[in-house]
Structure formats: C-alpha cells, structure tokens
C-alpha cells in the first residue's frame, strides 16, 4: 500500500538486508554485491544523470553471475545444448554461480518454465555480454541488450563457435520480430492508420508468432517512436483498404443491397446475423442467432429472453411489431450538392465515379455512428442528425489532401 511505501527508508532497507545476511529472511538464492562509491554530479539537462545511470548499469553488469537455471533457460529459449551455452559464457568471461553441496536446493525451481517469455527473461541475465557483437549489424538490438555499451568496449567479431551460435540464434529472432512488426504496420497502413501508437500495433501482432512477445514489443516501441520512423515512408501514393464497403445500396435500383457479408443498415453487425425470438409449444421462449458467422450462431439461448425482460422490466411479446427494417429511405433529405461541386470531387478522385455517392442510404449510414440513438433514428425515420451531402471513398493521402483543399 501507499502507507507501507512511505515508511520505507534507507535504515529500514539496511536492517532488512542485515536480516537476510543472518539468514532470518528466506528469499531464496540471492547474490548481493557492492561497488565503489560514486559521486552524483549536478544535473546538466539530464546528461550527467544519464551518464551516472550508465555507470551504475555497467558496474552492475560487471558483477552479474549466472546459475544453471539461466543456462538451462538459454538452452531451451535458443534450442541449443547446455554445453554450447556454458562454453559461450565462459568464453565471454561470465561469472558462473558456484554450486554448493550444503545449499538447500528446495529454494531453486524444480522445473523449467514452459512460457517462452520467462525463458527469455532469464536468459537476458547475461544479454549485455552479447550487445557489442551486433553494434554495427543491428544497432537497435545492441543498444537494447546493453544500453551502456559505449563503456563496455568496442565492437568485435566472435572467434568462438559457441558464441557465434548464440549470436546467430539471437539475430534470427531479432530479425523475425522486426519483420512481424513491419507486417503489422503495413496492415494498419492499408486500413488508413498511418500513425498508430504502440498499443494499437501490439493488438495486430499474431498471437502464435514464432518469436517472444517481448522482442516484438521492443521492435514496436522503436518503430513507432519519432526517432525510429523508418517505416514512415511517403504515404502520398499508399493505397488504403476502405473500412466499409463502397456502398450499402444497389447502384442499379437504389435499394438496399441484400448481401450477407455486408454491414447491416440500421442495426449492429452484418446482414446475415441477427437474434430471432422463438416460442416452443410449451410457450417458453428462446433466442437463436441466424447465420454461421459466430460461435453462438444456430445455438438456442434459452435464458436470454427472460434475462432481457427482467433487466428491462419489460414484457417481450412474440407477436408484437418491431421497428421497420429501414427499407423506406424517403425520410432522408436529398443532397444539396451542386453538379459543379460533384464534378470537382470526381476529378479529385481521378475521374472514378464509383467512389462517390449521393445516395440516401450511404449518406445516412456515414452520417451516423453505431450508437443506440443512431440505430433508433434510422429505424424510425426521426432524423436528429446532420446528413452529409456526399460520401467519398479516397484511396490515398493525395486524394484526401485534394478533397480538403477543395472543401
């Protein structure tokens, strides 16, 4: 709690560490080391603080020790033998945690985690030892493995085969992570999202990717940051995929299209999906969803009707009349756009008349959202929203700029 955090101070921390040394606190197997004193310099726009942080990290990394647990984690994560991992660590000068015969092994994990993320987290205990080898070929990942690399030495080429095998596996995973993130960004760009944030991109990452999520998150963070805008190429000619179909009406007769895969007009979901109320011979009610699109489609939902009636304190009458199905569009006002303005818009779309609509259904649908109030207005003809004069489907940013300039 907040109160407990406020009570923590240096004296309490030192007393706690003393109890740990005396064996009065069982926290498992912990390695504690101290370095020489460091003087904290005065702040100079954060530069000295950054330098101090790198110094602290560098000293911490120089004292890192790895146990058999870390070696096994790396072996499983990289699909290499434990002998190869151990040989590489010894070649890199890593300190190996000595095994003690009188140590209580019950504090150590008895089984290795199956979670790939945890294996990688354990393996990265010694990841800083590998950063310098890829400083030129993969600078982004080198900095991630060892942010204080400049203090660790110059770039070098591994001469040991075991070290080379580990680097090869790491680079393979790094490059795969970048490729997956690039594909997710391209997917978002194709849908018109040219400046997605980190959370948005992560939602588009495949759940069953052959690479740990933590690596993809690193790639996302770098690529969507202002400094890592390598994916933000010229978008003037980038074509986008419309989020909705070009029209919800039939161009020949102006009537609503009957397309199961089309978005429903005046309702949520698709045209082939809707709830249907049924009554059994014993007069009990059950609801069933039409179509085959969802997992619940075709399955009787016996308790849904009674639940809705109870929560809304309403009587559900199977013979009652529902709202109309939006077939009558006469209540939608005509467009006020002139023929001259229409021609200019078509010209900005390269003369493609199929990507502009003055139809009432298109204008009504795109003039509303998907709120309950919008659905009610469309179904009842009570127009309380502003209906646009025209709906346009631009394909790239150049056309969007032309339309904005025209407006």
- 24, pLDDT greater than 70: yes
pLDDT at position 274 is 84
- 318, pLDDT greater than 50: yes
Per the DSSP assignment, residues forming a β-bridge with 357 are 391
Determine the average pLDDT of the residues in 323-342: 78
Q: Is 26 left (phi over 0), alpha (psi -120 to 50) or beta?
A: beta
The dihedral through the CA atoms of 344, 350, 352, 358 has a sign that is: negative
Look up tokens 């790895």; give the residue.
66
Q: How far is CA 8 from the centre of its chain?
A: 36
3-state secondary structure the chain: CHHHHHHCCHHHHHHHHHHHHCCCCCCCCCCCCCCCCCCCCCCCCCHHHHHHHHHHHHHHHHCCEECHHHHHHHHHHHCCCHHHHHHHHHHCCCEECCCCCCCCHHHCCCCCCCCHHHHHHHHHHHHHHCHHHHCCCCHHHHHHHCCCHHHCCCCCCCCCHHHHHHHHHHHHHHHHHHHHHHHHHHHHHHCCCCCCCHHHHHHCCCCCCCCCHHHHHHHHHHHHCHHHHHHCCCCCCCCCCCCCCCCCECCCCCCECCCCCCECCCCCCECCCCEEEEECCCCCEEEEECCCCCCCECCCECCHHHHHHHHHCCCCCCCCCCCCCCCCCCCCCCCCCCHHHHHHHHHHCCCCHHHEECCHHHHHHHCCCCCHHHHHHHHHCCCCCCCCCCEECCCCHHHHHHHHHHC
CB-CB contact of 117 with 212 (8 Å): yes
- 106 vs 47, residue with greater confidence: 47
Give me 401's structure tokens. Answer: 């700029």
Determine the average pLDDT of the residues in 187-212: 82
- 231, pLDDT greater than 50: no
Least confident of 68-77, 111-120, 255-264: 255-264
**Cα–Cα nearest to 140, from 54, 220, 52:** 220
Look up tokens 């993130």; give the residue.
181
The most confident of 42-46, 268-272, 298-302, 380-384, by mean pLDDT: 298-302
pLDDT at position 230 is 43
Model-wide pTM > 0.95:
no
pLDDT digits (tens, 9 = 90+) for 164-194: 999 999 999 999 999 999 999 988 887 777 7
pLDDT digits (tens, 9 = 90+) for 1-13: 334 444 557 788 8
pLDDT digits (tens, 9 = 90+) for 338-379: 999 999 999 999 999 989 999 888 888 888 877 888 888 877
- 357 vs 104, residue with greater confidence: 357
- For 133, counting Cβ atoms within 10 Å of its Cβ (0-12 exposed, 13-18 middle, 19+ buried), the class is buried
Task: Give the C-alpha separation, 288 to 276, whole Å.
Answer: 5
Burial state string for 221-230 with b = 16 or more CB within 10 A and e = fewer than 16: ebbbeeeeee
- 327, pLDDT greater than 70: no
pLDDT at position 391 is 92
Q: Is 258 left (phi over 0), alpha (psi -120 to 50) or beta?
A: beta
- 46, pLDDT greater than 60: no
Close Cβ partners of 94 (under 8 Å, ≥ 6 residues apart): 64, 65, 66, 126, 129
Residue 136 has a CB neighbour count (10 Å cut-off) of: 10
Determine the average pLDDT of the residues in 184-207: 84
Determine the average pLDDT of the residues in 215-227: 84
pLDDT at position 236 is 36
- 390, pLDDT greater than 90: yes
- 392, pLDDT greater than 90: yes
The most confident of 21-30, 195-204, 223-232, by mean pLDDT: 195-204
Look up tokens 């013979």; give the residue.
319
Q: Look over the chain and give the mean of its residue pLDDT values, rounded to a whole number.
A: 79
pLDDT at position 152 is 44
pLDDT at position 30 is 62
Determine the average pLDDT of the residues in 82-92: 93
pLDDT at position 246 is 47
pLDDT digits (tens, 9 = 90+) for 248-289: 555 444 455 567 777 777 777 788 888 888 888 888 889 998
pLDDT at position 332 is 80
Least confident of 131-140, 237-246, 330-339, 371-380: 237-246
- 106, pLDDT greater than 50: no
**Cα–Cα nearest to 84, from 169, 156, 12:** 169
CA-CA distances (angstroms) from residue 213 to 193, 209, 385?
22, 8, 44
pLDDT at position 400 is 92
């Amino acid at each position: 709690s907040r109160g407990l955090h406020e009570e923590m101070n240096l004296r309490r921390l030192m007393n706690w560490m003393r109890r740990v040394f005396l064996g009065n606190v069982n926290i498992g197997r912990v390695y504690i080391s101290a370095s020489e004193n460091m003087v904290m310099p005065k702040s100079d726009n954060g530069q000295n603080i950054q330098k101090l942080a790198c110094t602290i990290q560098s000293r911490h990394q120089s004292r890192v020790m790895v146990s058999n647990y870390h070696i096994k984690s790396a072996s499983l994560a990289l699909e290499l033998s434990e002998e190869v991992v151990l040989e590489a660590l010894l070649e890199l000068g890593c300190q190996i945690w000595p095994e003690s015969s009188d140590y209580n092994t019950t504090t150590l994990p008895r089984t290795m985690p199956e979670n790939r993320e945890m294996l990688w987290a354990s393996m990265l205990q010694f990841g800083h030892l590998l950063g310098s080898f890829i400083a030129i070929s993969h600078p982004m990942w080198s900095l991630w493995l060892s942010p204080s690399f400049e203090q660790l030495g110059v770039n070098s080429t591994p001469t040991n085969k075991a070290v080379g095998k580990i680097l090869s596996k790491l680079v393979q995973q790094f490059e795969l992570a970048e490729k997956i993130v690039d594909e997710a960004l391209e997917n978002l760009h194709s849908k018109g999202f040219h400046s997605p944030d980190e959370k948005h991109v992560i939602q588009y990452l495949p759940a069953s990717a052959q690479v740990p999520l933590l690596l993809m998150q690193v790639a996302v963070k770098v690529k969507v940051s202002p400094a890592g805008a390598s994916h933000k190429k010229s978008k003037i000619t980038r074509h986008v995929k419309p989020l909705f179909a070009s029209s919800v009406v039939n161009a020949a007769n102006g009537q609503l299209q009957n397309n199961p895969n089309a978005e429903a007009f005046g309702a949520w979901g698709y045209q082939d999906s809707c709830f249907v109320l049924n009554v059994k011979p014993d007069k009990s009610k059950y609801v069933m969803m039409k179509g085959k699109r969802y997992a619940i489609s075709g399955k009787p939902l016996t308790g849904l009707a009674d639940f809705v009636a109870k929560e809304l304190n309403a009587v559900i009458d199977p013979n009652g009349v529902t709202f109309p199905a939006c077939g009558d569009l006469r209540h939608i006002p005509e467009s006020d756009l002139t023929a001259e303005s229409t021609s200019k818009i078509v010209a900005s779309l390269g003369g493609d008349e199929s990507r502009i609509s003055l139809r009432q259904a298109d204008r009504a649908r795109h003039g509303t959202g998907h709120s309950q109030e919008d659905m009610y207005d469309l179904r009842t003809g009570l127009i309380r929203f502003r209906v646009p004069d025209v709906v346009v489907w631009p394909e790239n940013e150049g056309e969007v700029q032309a339309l904005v300039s025209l407006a």
